[in-house]
Amino acid sequence: MSDRLVLLGSKGGPALRPRGPWPTSTLLELGGRTIVVDCGLGVTRGLVDAGSSLKTLDLIFITHLHSDHVLELGPLIHTAWTAGLASPVRIYGPPGTGHYWQCFCQALEFDIEIRIVDEGRPDIRTLVTVEEFAEGLVLDEHGLMVTALRVEHPPVTDCFALRFEHDGRSVVFSSDTAFFPPLAGFAKEADILVHEAMLESGVERLVARTGNGARLREHLFASHSLAEEAGRIARDANVRRLVLTHLIPADDPAVGEADWIAAVRKTWSGDLTIARDGLVVGLSGAKAASGEETA
């Protein structure tokens, strides 16, 4: 299995629009491990379409508990379980992740109990373990190292960027964050920085269309980064490739890839990918994986 990143869901926020993109989730295949980062709505469909077997679900990381990052965590694992998952799954998430998982299992108690008896399945509640993490080292196992950095996403305080390293390769996820300069140090020399991004002109159009415009505008600018700010982090970190995802707006027909590229090129001249659902980014140096799109 060659290392790759698949952007399963690329939009910011929980809303769905006709034929629009899904909220945030990403598949990272690194060093033979299958790693899911965030579980917004659509993650299960995205993994299946990316050719990933649900039966081999292994490590899941949740960056914070906003619903566009966690809503489908339970349904993903439950669907994998009904598909024949029989090996342990570990969920790493901020404080509160264990509560989510316990409540999910309670909500599905009828179905879980009946399938154990009727279909002879292992107990999903013993297959899954939840590890709640804070800033610092999250996991160091078989050459895979994962570290977390608390980022700036008010009013959420437990929101973490994540860095994955294996055999000299490194991928960093910003999670949701306002412009946060310490992220550049955390992402230093990474092969890929996956950073959230807003397009300023698009946000103004979004705010104008929304009833509660002033409040929304205030939240977005206090809690998220503009594309050019993501570019500054990538430049200061000297990463090999910047991937913009969690796009806001992601479903405005007046906003196209050229607009995102124009914004980020003010601060970043290196390799660049603008996320789209299902897009694959290779991690094998100069050789691009099939389906990879660069700009």
Q: Which residue numbers are catalytic?
A: 68
251 binds Zn ion (CB under 5 A): no
Of 209 and 219, CB closest to Zn ion: 219
Q: Name the segment binding Zn ion (CB under 5 A); options: 48-56, 62-70, 96-104, 275-283.
A: 62-70
Of 93 and 282, CB closest to Zn ion: 93
Q: Name the segment binding Zn ion (CB under 5 A); options: 50-58, 65-73, 132-140, 206-214.
A: 65-73
Nearest to 164 by CA among 3, 281, 53: 3
72 binds Zn ion (CB under 5 A): no
Q: How far is the CB of 40 from Zn ion (least distance, A)?
A: 8
Of 220 and 279, CB closest to Zn ion: 220
Q: How far is the CB of 125 from Zn ion (least distance, A)?
A: 28
Of 178 and 262, CB closest to Zn ion: 178
195 binds Zn ion (CB under 5 A): no
Q: How far is the CB of 1 from Zn ion (least distance, A)?
A: 29
What is the DSSP annotation of the chain? ---EEEEEE-BSSS---TT----SEEEEEETTEEEEEEE-TTHHHHHHHTT--GGG--EEE-S---HHHHTTHHHHHHHHHHTT--S-EEEEESTTHHHHHHHHHHHTHHHHHHHHHHH-PPPHHHHEEEEE--SEEEEEETTEEEEEEE--BTTB---EEEEEEETTEEEEE--S-S--THHHHHTTT-SEEEEEEE-HHHHHHHHHHSTTHHHHHHHHHHH--BHHHHHHHHHHHT-SEEEEEEEESSS-TT--HHHHHHHHTTT--SEEEE--TTEEEE-BTTBPPTT----
Q: Are 189 and 237 in contact (CB under 8 A)?
A: yes
Of 14 and 98, CB closest to Zn ion: 14
Of 68 and 277, CB closest to Zn ion: 68
176 binds Zn ion (CB under 5 A): yes
Token representation of residue 258? 């050229």
Q: Name the segment binding Zn ion (CB under 5 A); options: 49-57, 173-181, 187-195, 226-234.
A: 173-181
38 binds Zn ion (CB under 5 A): no
11 binds Zn ion (CB under 5 A): no
Q: Which of 11, 33, 66, 78 touches Zn ion (CB under 5 A)?
A: 66
Q: How far is the CB of 9 from Zn ion (least distance, A)?
A: 10
Q: How far is the CB of 181 from Zn ion (least distance, A)?
A: 19
Q: How far is the CB of 178 from Zn ion (least distance, A)?
A: 11
- Applying CB under 5 A, the site for Zn ion has a residue count of 3
What's the CA gap between 72 and 44, in Å, rounded? 8
Q: Which of 29, 68, 72, 165 touches Zn ion (CB under 5 A)?
A: 68
Integer angstrom CA distances of residue 101 from 82, 91, 117: 17, 9, 21
3 binds Zn ion (CB under 5 A): no
Residues that bind Zn ion (CB under 5 A): 66, 68, 176
